[in-house]
Homo-oligomer: A and B are copies of this chain.
Amino acid sequence: MTVDRHALQRVLDGRWAQVRNEIRAQMDELAFNPDPDLTTEEYRALTTENLKLLASTGRPRQGFDPAYGGGGDVGGVVTAFAMLGFGDLSLLVKAGVQWGLFGGAVQVLGTKHHHDAYLRQIMDGELLGCFAMTETGHGSDVQHLRTTATYDPETREFVVHTPDPGARKDYIGNAARDGRMAVVFAQLVTQGRSHGVHALLVPIRDEDGNPMPGVTIGDCGHKAGLNGVDNGRLTFDHVRVPREALLNRFGDVSEDGTYTSSIANETRRFFTMLGTLVRGRISVAGGACTATQKALALAIRYGAIRRQFADPATGEEVVVLDYLVHQRKLLPALATTYALHFAQADLVSDMHDLQTPGAEGDEWRQRELETRAAGIKAVATWHATATIQTCREACGGAGYLSANLLPALKADTDVFTTFEGDNTVLLQLVAKTLLSDYGRRVARLSPVGKAKFAADLVADAVVERTGARALLRRGDVTDREYQRWLLVERERHLLANAAQRMRKALAPGADQFGIFNGAQDHLIAAARAHVDRIVFDSFAAAVDRTTDAGVRDLLAEVLRLYALTVIENDRAFFIEHSYLTPGRAKTVTQAVNALCGRLRPHARTLVDGFGIPERWLECPLLEGEKEQPAAPPAPSQDDEPSDLASVG
């Protein structure tokens, strides 16, 4: 199997290859590895400079409405954003706050008035802003934020107010230093009635950078990472903004205070607003993917030159990536990274088709996109945290030095698992959507269909109890169809069982919280199983559409390892529910080991395929690539015979 790394890169680059290549060229200008000894203030200033430089490339415009000079290329801008993950992640996050969250909210929650007034300045980075949703007391449960925006018909103004310390806006990017304006999420109150959370544009600093009257700005200070981003806190003391400050696409207040909305149900309205902001979540997943790729490129290339311990037969020191346990640490993670890359690319592509200005809206597709975005964000960011950690450890002491780039990757991406939606909460959302879709499907069945459905559940339980299922469907665990069957069945099984458990909550007087809580781990497992399966499907589709035979064969092997990794990690489930016999489960582990060995010679090609500009990987860790000394150890004069195997 010979594989051309450029052909592989083209497959990975996919639909926005052009954008990726432009960013690769532009990043060369932006390039910097911030000195880790910068103070927080110096690093923030540097990041702001880089943000302006980025604005001057015109790249951020590409995501906005062409009517205001934007490029309308939603998918391209999200792809470009993710590419910043190869560089400094503070810049990535600061750009995400400015153009994704702040600019994105103005674009999708605002109307012509707001677009006319602000979009151009936002695109060009002249007006820096914040996305002030999270409060100290409410991070995940944002429907219950406590900041209020009360309409005063006398003056035709909204009064934005922080009623208690828990309602303080917290962890807000761009707040501590640079932001002039904030999109503030608050409970909208008019004519004595609350209409749920809405967003308003509130100036927070004047021209000279001083806080506006009534606005108190705090600083979150030093963080575990991302110290180029100025996270801060905002407190409002009866701050007045004009009626037009309301981003009024989904709900408006007339001059006399009458509230109107195209969406009558308050909860549905709120989640529709949130849904339009899905781009942020997709962008975080993209950043997590590229950061993971960079960490793997470093660790795998180092593993291919680092030698330790001699082969007793040759006396020559062994390259550490030739050790099975080292392969086991890195190659399944690499396979999963490939799988997530393609799943993320599909997500971006579908979002582009759905959100491109002028595209036809479709509630079902939007809902599916949001669910998928939530699931992939959770899985991709946890994968990033775990994999970057593994890469650091795989590089030993060298991986701990800031000069070798891994420490910043680790520290900066750490918060990805809890921002833009806490991962556990996101997976719960995914489970909730899956369950209600499931419920609707069942509800639509005819009476006969319902009876058959119930009978099938009983039969399923029987076949599981007797262990017959695993005998009914035999297969080779390395076979793609068999692998998919396992992933599909796991998803179906967990979902059906979760639905049965949650059904009890409908009984009169049921302890709803108790039932939900007792099944919470089960719900999360169902959501994960769903995400694993859709990620598999994205990857499989990518393999099938690959025309270069060498690349296709290699990707098929990587897909195989990805699926085996998922199955191996949860093989207890498959045995417990009789999808695998204990004997066949053991072959999974053997197959993973064998595949690691088969992919080892392609490890370098696989990380080269990510197309990370070489300049962004330059560090002392990889200096050895230039020399590659054979480095045979001085053999001891009288080595003890190894007593490793002295049995019997």
B645-A503 in contact (CB<8A): yes
The interface size of chain A toward B, counting residues with CB under 8 Å, comes to: 125
A644-B309 in contact (CB<8A): no
Interface string of A188-230 (1 = CB under 8 A from B): 0000011110000000000000000000000011111100000
Instruction: Spot the interface stretch: A360-368, A411-419, A475-483.
Output: A411-419
Interface string of A551-576 (1 = CB under 8 A from B): 00000000000000000000110011
Residue of A166, A399, A402 with highest tally of chain B CB at under 10 A:
A402
Task: Tell yes or no: A586 within 8 A of B by CB.
Answer: yes
Task: Tell yes or no: A22 within 8 A of B by CB.
Answer: no
The distance from the CB of A496 to the nearest CB of chain B, in whole angstroms, is: 9
Given contacts A194-B637, A223-B402, A403-B221, are A310 and B396 in contact (CB under 8 A)? no
Residue of B nearest to A221 (CB): B403
A328-B400 in contact (CB<8A): no
A268 to B37, CA, bound (A): 45
Instruction: Spot the interface stretch: A82-90, A248-256, A293-301, A516-524.
Output: A516-524
Contact of A424 among B140, B313, B325, B633 (CB under 8 A): B325
Task: Tell yes or no: A393 within 8 A of B by CB.
Answer: yes
Residue of B nearest to A438 (CB): B647
Q: Which residues of B contact A144 (CB under 8 A)?
A: 310, 317, 633-634
- Identical chains bound together, number: 2
Contact of A432 among B317, B443, B644 (CB under 8 A): B644
A513 to B314, CA, bound (A): 10
Q: Which of A255-300 contact B (CB under 8 A)?
A: 265-268
Residue of A310, A516, A636 with highest tally of chain B CB at under 10 A:
A636
Task: Tell yes or no: A154 within 8 A of B by CB.
Answer: no
Given contacts A644-B435, A645-B502, are A582 and B593 in contact (CB under 8 A)? no
The distance from the CB of A84 to the nearest CB of chain B, in whole angstroms, is: 20
B137-A435 in contact (CB<8A): no
Residue of A137, A322, A422 with highest tally of chain B CB at under 10 A:
A137
Task: Tell yes or no: A14 within 8 A of B by CB.
Answer: no
Task: Tell yes or no: A25 within 8 A of B by CB.
Answer: no
A284 to B418, CA, bound (A): 30
Q: Which residues of B contact A643 (CB under 8 A)?
A: 435-436, 439-440
The distance from the CB of A91 to the nearest CB of chain B, in whole angstroms, is: 18
A513 to B141, CA, bound (A): 55
Instruction: Give 29 CB contacts A-B under 8 Å.
Output: A37-B40, A137-B307, A140-B309, A141-B309, A144-B634, A166-B629, A166-B631, A170-B397, A193-B637, A220-B401, A223-B400, A224-B402, A224-B411, A266-B636, A267-B636, A267-B638, A318-B513, A325-B424, A396-B422, A436-B644, A465-B583, A467-B582, A502-B645, A502-B647, A503-B647, A516-B644, A572-B572, A572-B575, A577-B582
**A-B pairs with lowest CB-CB distance, top 10:** A224-B407, A144-B633, A439-B646, A36-B222, A502-B645, A572-B572, A222-B402, A436-B643, A171-B397, A324-B520
